Amino acid sequence: METHVCVAVWAVTMAMVVASIMWAYRWSHPRANGRLPPGSFGLPLLGETLQFFAPNPTCDVSPFVKERLNRYGSIFKTSVVGRPVVVTADPELNYYVFQQEGKLFESWYPHTFTEIFGRDNVGSLHGFMYKYLKSLVLRLYGQENLRAVLLAETDRACSSSLASWAAQPSVELKDSISAMIFDLTAKKLISYEPSKSSENLRKNFVAFIRGLISFPVDIPGTAYHECMKGRRNAMKVLKKMMRERMADPARQCEDFFDVLIEELRREKPVMTEAIALDLMFVLLFASFETTSLTLTLGVRLLAENPIVLDALTEEHEAIVRGREGCDAGLTWAEYKSMTFTSQVTLEIARLANIVPGIFRKALRDIEFKGYTIPAGWGVMVCPPAVHLNPEIYEDPLAFNPWRWQDKVEITGGTKHFMAFGGGLRFCVGTDLSKVVMATFIHHLVTKYRWKTVKGGNIVRTPGLSFPDGFHVQLFPKN
């Protein structure tokens, strides 16, 4: 009897082992109607997620991508957070992916990103709904409103903020710039004024940001858990605000949230309340975080490159000298005349690489350069691998704004530059970001000198962060 039991246990165990081996083999060797790109899926389920999120203290391409580019070439396969993904550093494939939006590819992000940004976030919407929401957002962030309203408000915010910081022994630049831009944009989006509100809304977004690009383990103490907690708290504020405004039909349209409320009150509204809330959440986040990171790195780069700083200062002091009054605010004509500043901001954006990957999903089997991207697979366009490619940019890690001299103005994503995305989903906040950066630089270089007090080191995980901050002291020039 015992012998029969042992044989049965042995048989079951062997069957389980064989089944596990077969399952693991199928995981690492998926079927495809063609030749898959080279690469490895790593461990079953976990894939290469740990390697993808490993910290990297450099502006260079992440070791995860760089090692695989050297081993497999500019197109390779991997698995991140449970999904097969084709990573592309190939400029031709990147451009093709962007141009075929809605035809062969659609916007897609891993499940964890959807949980973070909301199931109805604008990145997960397609076709008419996406175009409809984009047209609404451009009412606020389009060039017409930038010229008429936002430039002057940005000018005042930069001037007053820098003056306030100069009165302090030192400031942590990333957090200070974040606060300045958040207060500016949140006022336009939801009429939020921190001095008059009982809710510290930005604190929730800071918690959200810390875990945004982190390993997705939702247990107390992890960055991802704090991220989800920050989202829930921010959404509570937005939901309460929506209820109050929906219950007040006499309210006048004062901000962008009111624009969405008006759309929801239509007889047959195009969007749902969930879509409106997720849109507000994404706009509040995107409007300040990426620009503040880019500007912080920009200030560090200027401090390290005095020749660039001198040329930049010369351009802005010439603008000041050309004014009739010393107290005159920045004009649209002055902003558009900042030729070298435009080159500087492009170079900062190229090196900052705030977005480590832009995700799409193949809608059907795609053949490209002899490889097959199976239907349903994710595609990660990798901007850093293009922006730091020595075959495209000479000495790519060097801060050299003159490399953009005499280049055609970039108004959308190109094969060799995609800091603001590309195709139909080219970032609607690009023009606002450029205005904020140019205006901040204008006041900084014409009115102040600065020195680094401490910090300034960067880490990518794979998003950019300053783990020990970047503390500077400002000194008025006059």
Query: What residues are designated binding site for heme?
Result: 427
Under 8 Å between Cβ of 366 and 93: no
Helix axes 127-141, 256-264, angle to 10 degrees: 140
Q: Where are the alpha helices (DSSP H) in 214-255?
A: 223-246
* Residue in 70, 44, 73, 68 with CA at minimum distance from that of residue 54: 68
Q: Indicate the helix (H) or strand (E) that contains 85.
A: strand 83-88
Under 8 Å between Cβ of 33 and 377: no
What are the distances in angstroms from CA 376 to CA 230, 332, 363, 371? 31, 46, 6, 15
Encoding tokens for residue 179? 């606060």
Q: How many residues does the chain have?
A: 478
Cα(225)–Cα(216) distance, integer angstroms: 8
Q: In sequence order, what DSSP letters do the residues of 259-320 get, joined into one string?
A: HHHHHHTSSS-SS-HHHHHHHHHHHHHHTTHHHHHHHHHHHHHHHH-HHHHHHHHHHHHHHH
Number of Cβ atoms within 10 Å of the Cβ of 110: 18
Is residue 359 classed as helix, strand or coil in its secondary structure? strand
Residue with tokens 């060097």: 398
Cα(248)–Cα(184) distance, integer angstroms: 25
Q: Is the dihedral of CA 126, 417, 369, 83 positive or negative?
A: negative
Q: In sequence order, what DSSP letters do the residues of 156-216 get, joined into one string?
A: HHHHHHHHHHHTSS-EEHHHHHHHHHHHHHHHHHH---GGG-SS-HHHHHHHHHHTTTS--
Under 8 Å between Cβ of 460 and 62: yes
Under 8 Å between Cβ of 242 and 276: yes
